[in-house]
C-alpha cells in the first residue's frame, strides 16, 4: 500500500479517499483511525489558515462545507469496517439518527440564520438523546477487532490466517 517516497499513513489516507464508493471488501481499524486523524489534522491546518485570512461568517461557511466533504468517504469506510467483523452493513442504521442530525445542522448552518438553527435544536432534543446512545453503540461496534482470516466479505486485510 505504501507508495515510493510516501509515508504509509498518507498512502492509507489516499487509499480511503480513492475507495469512497467501494462498499465491498474489508477495512482494518487502522484505516478508520488514519482517515479520522487525517481529516482532523487537515481540518485544523486549513481552519487555522482560514481563521487568519477570513472574517468569521465566511470562515464558518467554508469550515462547514469542508466538514461535509470529509464525510463523503465515511459510509463506504464504515461498511468495509463492519465487513471486517463479518457483520452486515445493516448495522449502519445505528449511525443514522446522529448522522441525519449532523447533516441537517450543517445544511441549516449554511442556509439559515441563527434563530432557525436554535429553534431546530429546541425541537430535536429527543432525537439528540436517541442519537447519543445509538452513536455510542455504533462507535463501540466499529472499534471491535475484525475477524481473523477470510470471511464472506473477503480476505483478511491484515494478512492474518
Distance CA(31)–CA(122), nearest Å, equals 36
- Written as tens digits, the pLDDT of the chain (161 aa) is 445 566 688 888 899 999 999 999 999 999 999 999 999 999 999 989 998 988 888 888 888 888 889 989 999 999 999 999 999 999 888 888 887 888 888 788 778 888 888 888 888 888 788 888 888 888 888 889 999 999 999 999 987 76
The pLDDT, as a whole number, for residue 4 is 58
Q: Which three cell numbers stand for residue 16?
A: 480511503
The pLDDT, as a whole number, for residue 6 is 61
The pLDDT, as a whole number, for residue 2 is 47
Q: Could you tell me the residue ranges of all domains in the chain?
A: 8-143
Do residues 81 and 147 touch, judged by C-beta distance below 8 A? no
- Residues 1-32 as b or e (16 or more Cβ within 10 Å = b): eeeeeeeebeebbeebeebeeeeeebbbbebb
Do residues 26 and 146 touch, judged by C-beta distance below 8 A? yes
Do residues 82 and 40 touch, judged by C-beta distance below 8 A? no
The pLDDT, as a whole number, for residue 128 is 81
> Using the 8-state DSSP alphabet, how is residue 95 labeled?
G
CB atoms within 10 A of CB 145: 10
The pLDDT, as a whole number, for residue 57 is 82
Look at residue 124 and give its three-state secondary structure.
coil
Amino acid at each position: 500500500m505504501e507508495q515510493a517516497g510516501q509515508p504509509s499513513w498518507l498512502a492509507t489516507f489516499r487509499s480511503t479517499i480513492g475507495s469512497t464508493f467501494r462498499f465491498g471488501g474489508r477495512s482494518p481499524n487502522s484505516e478508520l483511525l488514519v482517515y479520522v486523524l487525517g481529516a482532523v489534522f487537515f481540518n485544523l491546518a486549513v481552519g487555522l489558515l482560514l481563521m487568519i485570512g477570513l472574517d468569521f461568517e465566511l470562515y464558518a461557511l467554508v469550515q462547514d462545507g469542508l466538514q461535509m466533504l470529509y464525510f463523503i468517504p465515511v459510509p463506504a469506510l464504515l461498511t468495509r469496517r463492519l465487513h471486517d467483523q463479518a457483520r452486515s452493513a445493516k448495522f449502519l442504521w445505528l449511525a443514522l439518527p446522529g448522522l441525519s442530525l449532523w447533516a441537517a445542522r450543517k445544511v441549516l448552518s449554511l442556509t439559515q440564520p441563527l434563530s432557525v438553527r436554535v429553534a431546530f435544536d429546541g425541537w430535536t432534543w429527543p432525537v439528540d438523546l436517541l442519537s447519543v446512545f445509538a452513536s455510542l453503540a455504533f462507535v463501540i461496534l466499529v472499534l471491535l477487532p475484525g475477524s481473523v482470516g477470510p470471511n464472506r466479505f473477503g480476505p483478511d486485510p491484515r494478512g492474518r490466517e
